[in-house]
Amino acid sequence: RKEVEQDPGPFNVPEGATVAFNCTYSNSASQSFFWYRQDCRKEPKLLMSVYSSGNEDGRFTAQLNRASQYISLLIRDSKLSDSATYLCAVNKRNSGYALNFGKGTSLLVTP
Amino acid sequence: EAQVTQNPRYLITVTGKKLTVTCSQNMNHEYMSWYRQDPGLGLRQIYYSMNVEVTDKGDVPEGYKVSRKEKRNFPLILESPSPNQTSLYFCASSFVGQPYEQYFGPGTRLTVT
């Protein structure tokens, strides 16, 4: 099983829709989880950290399910500007500060 | 402005010609890392550094060298580039400690012919 896995998509959704992505991880001892956003050929930028209790930032909600070893990202009221690739990241086994990234999920929001 | 910078942003070179990609951060971060990103393979870590003079291999270190003589700089060296090192390279940095979000440089697109 790969360390971090994501459905590559693409997810094509209309403006205003709610969309959710999941990301599974294999290391049950992982402590840190993140969602990054990457626009085409640009650098990844941190979207949000994922806390055990779940967290929300405007239209974005991130949740952690330790029992099933996945994190999720929910985007409500999708905007055209949300079109991007969303990468999940989990700290590596035996290397607390290094991150394993998923390959990303592509989102296209259409008018 | 807090940032990670990389130079050059674009480079086309020939097989075997040594090159260095520089990375610099102005956030006083202890941790720095190099990744390469290839279609279908995602971001893969090449090398990382926990602090000055402390470096370690990532997942794909073959063909690369790094050094960390100063806290702010972490150059990536390709002693003898080969076409399979054609890729998009990102440098990243972070503080050491929870929740250690990593900040990425703008990327260097390298083509080796």
pLDDT band at A32 (very low <50, low <70, confident <90, very high): confident
**Residue A2: pLDDT band with limits 50, 70, 90:** confident
Which of A32, A87, A97, A100 is the mutation pick for testing B, counting most B CBs within 10 A? A97
Count the neighbouring beta carbons within 10 Å of the beta carbon of residue A107: 21
The CA distance from A21 to A33, in Å, is 14
Among candidate residues A3, A47, A12, A60, the one with its CA nearest the CA of residue B43: A3
C-beta separation of A55 from A44 below 8 A: no
Report the mean per-residue pLDDT for chain A.
Answer: 92
Cβ burial, residue A53 (10 Å; 0-12/13-18/19+): exposed
Residues of A contacting chain B (CB within 8 angstroms): 31-32, 34, 41-46, 49, 87, 89, 97-99, 101-104
Task: Provide the shortest C-alpha distance from residue A8 to chain B (in Å).
Answer: 9
Q: What is the pLDDT of residue A93?
A: 66
Task: Check CB contact under 8 Å for B43 and A101.
Answer: yes
User: Do A89 and A100 form a contact (C-beta atoms < 8 A)?
Assistant: yes
More confident residue, A96 or B25: B25
Six-digit token pair at B58?
Answer: 């990532």
The pLDDT value given to residue A28:
87
B35 touches B46 (CB < 8 A):
yes
Q: Which two tokens stand for residue A87?
A: 């990468």
- Please identify every stretch of chain B with a pLDDT value under 70, giving residue numbers as ranges: 98-99
Chain A residue numbers touching B10 (CB-CB < 8 A): none
Is the pLDDT reported for residue A96 higher than 60?
A: no
pLDDT at B96: 82
